[in-house]
């Protein structure tokens, strides 16, 4: 299995598959309710002009979340 | 065409069926409001859920045969595991936890066809409730344009409930929907999904407790049990019935057990729901077209670009700001003129006396003062409606989030705060878009520090008195003005930072939301929303503002001076004048005398009233040109002969106006929006306290330095 990185470390335009949630709690549950689950493929579309929050594409829609939340999600790069 | 049996039977025997109550639910941005407006037209009642500032909208739709159907438009929600008061109300109404709202008989769930999977998550939770559900798949045209085919009949088969393809924007599918809604019986969903084995026993136990202790129906109890297990530290709002202690106990002991085992129970529940949804989606959605960058992606490449993004945001905000200022001015002046014309007419036709004074200067002026807010409110909400329905609002929050998070707020506080530069009333009303209750309250508390347009005349008068000569150099005017605006803004952010760290401490608000695709706004929805805001303001705050204005009028009109007294003498010996004298010891350290005190008191009606009050106090006409008033003020002296309006006093007075809470209309709207007197009183105290302290420091330091 390829090495995992934090979702917040993903390069703009890169795609990855979610592998692990490092934290439980309301933010992590809400992310999963929004469809960001283990095995879900995400693309980092862009960051906001000041670098935070992030914009992801998953399941055909665009989701925004802060870096602090993205720090708690591990992803595996896909090619 | 022959009618299907069940429809014709309702026509033949209308009394047999009680009109069903439908709840309309859906994710944010799925076209729920458009569908609600299309179904109910203008037959809507907008109110509030008691105890929470969440809007309650109920409308009446008519079936094809003219039978009324009640529709409750519940706030948009991503999930029933509530993370905001809006979502909490949706959850509580659906679960029958609110005593103030009847539990809906049937549920109308609307989903976005272009984003079916995530939208089906909410439906999946709703199907647990065991109520008849009609699914509306909206935006079929946009899905087709994106190369997606949604196979409605397959979806209907998979779920076992009526599924209606719909384009709410142009009314397609509405007839089919109304036909389905008036069916006397609706099938229940085929809704079997596997609760993870580790969690199933907890669901059973909680369900049993909810049935026996909380007196819930079995189906509902299971849904609630599942929700309690997802809803870890869910948002609780006023008006929702608490759980029985035994149920709470069972929940806590399971959570403790799982924590020990390292089981991520809530995550596992979400996963199994998405597994079930995934199986349905795979069968229902066909990706036929290309999946290149969409039009929205292309727009976003500019609108959220690190350089262009600021330019676009700046341009949009400048347009918004200038519109509120310039477009609102003519109707505001017109309202002033008409109020005066009407008051004059009453003056002529009524016999002289106290009643006439009450009507002309108390009631009519008061009503005029309330209506005067409408142009700004309508314009702001027209813009906010446009920004929200096009999808730009989410981008503005996305861009501003980083800056706002430095003081502990999120991007959504930006527009309410900016709008408060025009007027805090619409700004505070606009805070309803902020989901987090603490963030919303902090935004409300600091909004009136943003210098509003009512302070402008005061600043202008003080700047005129500050500099020698009748003409104020433009540069001076602009730089003092910028200084005042900057002070107010700094103050607002400083206090937001302080409140978020002390009084309203809380976890940093989440910023997990969809950035919806750009869409063309629907003018009808925007206009309807704008009119609703205006009506809500008049109904909820207008009466309170009117009442206080009449009291303020009374204080300046009574007790009556002997006949033949001038306005100046009347004011000086009125209650307000006496209050000015009473106030003098408190404001003397700021360099203000009792005459300025009267001005400060009269400012409570609206800050700009300070100027006309000074006109009366110093017996100078300030209606067309402030020069005579300026001369009169500069001639004013303390009893010991020192000049009253020294440049330092003028400057101190401006500082005072930047920070002090002197607006009854703001107090009234804060009372309405926070549902208590506690917050408006706290706000008045902290703002006016800050104003006093800063003015004191400025005046005393200035005096010590010899200014």
**Chain segment B20-78, per-residue pLDDT in tens:** 899 999 999 899 999 999 999 877 888 777 777 788 899 999 988 888 999 999 999 99
Residues of B in contact with A38 (CB under 8 A): 271
Q: Which two tokens stand for residue B40?
A: 């109910």
pLDDT, average across residues B580-601: 90
Q: In this structure, is residue B356 part of a structural domain?
A: no
B296 chain-A contacts, CB cut-off 8 A: 62
Same domain, yes or no: B139 and B53 = yes
Q: Assess A68–B contact: CB distance below 8 Å, yes or no.
A: yes
Residue B233 has pLDDT above 70, yes or no: no
> Hey, are the CB atoms on B402 and A50 less than 8 Å from each other?
yes
Query: A20 contacts in B (CB within 8 Å)?
Result: none
B669: in domain: no
H or E, element range at B55: strand B55-62
Q: Which residues pair with B615 in a beta bridge?
A: none
Mutation to test the A interface, candidates B91, B114, B118, most A Cβ within 10 Å: B118
Of B239-243, B266-270, B384-388, give the lowest mean pLDDT range. B239-243
Spatial distance between the Cα atoms of B237 and B16, rounded to a whole number of angstroms: 37
> Residue B48: inside a domain, yes or no?
yes
Which residue pairs, CB below 8 angstroms and at least 24 apart, start in B355-364?
B357/B557, B358/B550, B358/B553, B361/B553, B361/B557, B362/B549, B362/B550, B362/B553, B362/B554, B362/B557, B363/B546, B363/B550, B364/B339
**pLDDT over threshold 50, residue A73:** yes
Which single residue is written with the structure tokens 């609002």?
B393
Of A11, A10, A27, nearest in space to A19 by CA: A10
Q: What is the pLDDT of residue B12?
A: 38
Architecture of domain A4-77: Roll (2.30)
Residues B163 and B257 in one domain: no
- What confidence score (pLDDT) does residue B281 get? 92
Write the pLDDT tens digit of every residue in B563-579. Answer: 777 777 888 888 888 88
In a domain, B431, yes or no: no
**Residue B74 within a domain:** yes
Last residue of one domain, picked from the residues B252, B272, B292 = B272
Task: Note whether A52 contacts B514, CB cutoff 8 Å.
Answer: no
Cα–Cα distance, B504 to B510 (Å, whole number):
16
Q: Which residues of B561-584 are buried (b: 16+ CB within 10 A; e: fewer)?
A: beeeeeebebbbebbbbebbeebe
Q: Would residue B320 count as lying in a domain? A: no
Q: Please check whether residues B117 and B239 belong to one and the same domain.
A: no
Boundary-marking domain end, from B181, B213, B232: B181
In a domain, residue B33? The reply is yes
Among B592, B603, B579, CA closest to B457: B603
Contact assignment for B117 to A28 by CB distance below 8 Å: no
Task: Note whether residue B343 is domain-resident.
Answer: no
Backbone torsion region of residue A59, taken as left when φ is above 0, otherwise alpha when ψ lies between -120 and 50, otherwise beta: left
pLDDT at B6: 41
For range B400-426, the mean pLDDT: 86
Residues B161 and B204 in one domain: no
CB B484 within 8 Å of CB B654: yes
CA dist B222 and B217 (Å) reads 9
Domain count, chain B: 2
Residue B16 pLDDT exceeds 60: no
Is the domain of B168 the same as that of B25? Answer: yes
Q: What pLDDT digit, counting tens, does each position of A9-45 carry?
A: 999 999 999 999 998 888 888 999 999 999 999 999 9
| Same structural domain, B105 and B73 | yes
Residue A75's Cβ-side half-sphere holds a number of Cα atoms within 13 Å equal to: 25
Give the largest Cα separation in chain B, rounded: 97
Under a CB-based contact definition with an 8 Å cutoff, are residues B119 and B265 in contact?
Answer: no
Q: Retrieve residue A78's tokens.
A: 């896909």
Q: Count of residues for chain A? A: 79
Same domain, B152 and B257: no
Burial of B244 (0-12, 13-18, 19+ CB in 10 A): middle
**Alpha-carbon gap: B264 to the closest alpha carbon of chain A (Å):** 7
Comparing alpha-carbon positions, the chain A residue that sits nearest to B514 is A63
Read off the CATH number of the domain in which B59 is found.
3.40.50.300
* Residue labelled with tokens 């009183």: B681
Distance from CA of A72 to the nearest CA of B (A): 14
Q: Mind telling me how many Å the CA of B286 is from chain A's nearest CA?
A: 13
Instruction: Assess whether B96 and B176 both reside in one domain.
Output: yes
> Cβ contacts of residue B438 below 8 Å, gap of 6+?
B500, B504, B506, B509
Contacts of B292 by beta carbon, 8 Å cutoff, 6+ apart: none
How many beta carbons lie within 10 A of that of residue B159, not counting itself? 21
A26 lies within 8 A of chain B by CB: yes
Q: Measured between CB atoms, does A35 come within 8 Å of chain B?
A: yes
Q: What does the pLDDT read at residue B693?
A: 96
Residues B39 and B103 in one domain: yes
Q: Cβ neighbours of residue A53 under 8 Å, at least 6 residues apart?
A: A47, A64, A65, A66, A67, B398, B401, B402, B511
Q: Nearest C-alpha of chain B: how many angstroms from A2?
A: 23
- B118 and B224 belong to one structural domain: no
Give the domain range for residue B132.
Answer: 5-181
CA-angle at B27, arms to B21 and B32, nearest 5°: 55
Q: Specify the 3-state DSSP secondary structure of B44.
A: strand
C-alpha dihedral (B448, B454, B460, B461), degrees to nearest 10: -110
Q: Based on the domain organization, do B18 and B158 belong to the same domain? A: yes
Nearest in space to B104 (alpha carbons), one of B65, B172, B56, B142 = B56
Domain boundaries, chain A: 4-77
Q: Token pair of B585, please?
A: 């010891």
């Amino acid at each position: 299995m390829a090495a995992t990185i934090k979702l917040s470390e993903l390069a703009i335009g890169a795609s990855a598959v979610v592998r692990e949630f490092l934290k439980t709690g309301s933010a992590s549950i809400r992310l999963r309710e929004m469809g960001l689950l283990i095995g879900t493929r995400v693309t980092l579309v862009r960051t906001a002009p000041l670098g935070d929050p992030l914009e992801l594409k998953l399941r055909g829609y665009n989701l925004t979340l802060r870096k602090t939340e993205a720090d708690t999600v591990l992803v595996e790069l896909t090619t | 065409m022959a009618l299907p049996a069940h429809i014709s039977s309702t026509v033949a025997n209308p009394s047999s069926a009680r009109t069903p109550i439908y709840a309309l639910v859906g994710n944010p941005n799925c076209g729920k409001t458009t569908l609600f407006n299309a179904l109910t037209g203008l037959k809507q009642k907008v109110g509030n859920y008691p105890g929470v500032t969440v809007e309650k909208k109920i409308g009446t739709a008519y079936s094809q045969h003219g039978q009324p159907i009640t529709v409750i438009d519940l706030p948009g929600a991503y999930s029933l595991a509530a993370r905001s008061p809006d979502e909490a109300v949706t959850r509580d109404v659906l679960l029958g936890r609110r005593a103030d709202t009847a539990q809906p008989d049937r549920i109308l769930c609307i989903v976005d066809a272009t984003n079916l999977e995530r939208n089906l998550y909410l439906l999946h939770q709703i199907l647990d409730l065991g109520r008849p559900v009609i699914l509306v798949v909206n935006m079929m045209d946009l899905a087709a344009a994106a190369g997606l085919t949604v196979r409605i009949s397959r979806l209907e088969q998979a779920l076992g409930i009526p599924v209606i393809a719909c384009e709410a924007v142009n009314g397609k599918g509405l007839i089919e929907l109304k036909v389905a809604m008036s069916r006397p019986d609706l099938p229940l969903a085929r809704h079997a999904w596997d609760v993870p084995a580790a969690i199933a026993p907890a669901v059973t136990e909680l369900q049993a407790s909810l049935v026996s202790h909380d007196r819930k129906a079995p189906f509902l109890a299971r849904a609630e049990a599942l929700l309690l297990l997802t809803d870890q530290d869910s948002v609780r709002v006023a008006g929702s019935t608490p759980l029985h202690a035994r149920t709470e106990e069972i929940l806590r002991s399971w959570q403790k057990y799982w924590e020990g085992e390292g089981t991520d129970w809530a995550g596992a529940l979400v996963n199994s729901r998405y597994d079930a949804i995934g199986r349905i989606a795979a069968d229902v959605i066909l990706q036929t077209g290309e999946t290149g960058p969409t039009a929205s992606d292309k727009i976003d490449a500019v609108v959220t670009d690190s350089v262009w993004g600021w330019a676009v945001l700046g341009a949009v905000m400048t347009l918004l700001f200038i519109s509120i200022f310039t477009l609102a001015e003519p109707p505001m002046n017109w309202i002033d003129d008409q109020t005066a014309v009407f008051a004059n007419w009453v003056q002529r036709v009524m016999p002289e006396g106290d009643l006439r004074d009450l009507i002309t200067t108390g009631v009519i002026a008061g009503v005029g003062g309330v209506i005067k807010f409408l142009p700004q409110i309508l314009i702001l909400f027209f813009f906010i409606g446009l920004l929200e329905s096009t999808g730009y609002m989410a981008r503005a929050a996305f861009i501003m989030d980083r800056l706002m998070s430095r003081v502990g707020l999120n991007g959504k506080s930006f527009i309410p705060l900016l709008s408060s530069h025009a007027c805090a009333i619409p700004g505070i009303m606009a805070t309803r878009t902020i989901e987090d209750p603490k963030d919303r309250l902090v935004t409300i508390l600091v909004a009136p520090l943003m210098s509003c347009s009512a302070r402008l005349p005061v600043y202008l008068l003080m700047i005129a008195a500050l500099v020698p000569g009748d003409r104020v150099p433009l540069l001076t005017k602009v730089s003092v003005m910028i200084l005042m605006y900057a002070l107010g803004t700094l103050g607002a952010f400083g206090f937001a930072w302080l409140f978020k760290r002390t009084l309203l401490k809380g976890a940093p608000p989440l910023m997990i939301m969809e950035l919806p695709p750009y869409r063309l706004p629907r003018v009808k929805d925007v206009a309807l929303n704008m009119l609703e805001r205006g009506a809500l303001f008049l109904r909820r705050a207008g009466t309170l503002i009117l009442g206080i204005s009449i009291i303020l009028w009374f204080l300046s009109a009574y007790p009556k001076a002997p006949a033949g007294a001038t306005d100046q003498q009347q004011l000086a010996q009125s209650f307000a004048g006496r209050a000015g004298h009473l106030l003098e010891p408190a404001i003397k350290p700021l360099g203000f005398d009792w005459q300025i005190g009267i001005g400060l008191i009269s400012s409570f009606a609206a800050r700009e009233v300070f100027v006309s009050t000074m006109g009366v106090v110093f017996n100078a006409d300030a209606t067309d040109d402030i020069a005579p008033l300026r001369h009169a003020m500069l001639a004013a002296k303390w009893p010991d002969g020192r000049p009253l309006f020294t440049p330092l006093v003028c400057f101190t007075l401006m500082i005072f106006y930047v920070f002090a809470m002197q607006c009854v209309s703001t107090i009234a709207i804060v009372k309405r929006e926070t549902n208590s007197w506690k917050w408006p009183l706290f706000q008045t105290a902290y703002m006016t306290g800050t104003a006093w302290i800063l003015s004191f420091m400025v005046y005393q330091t200035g005096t010590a330095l010899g200014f």
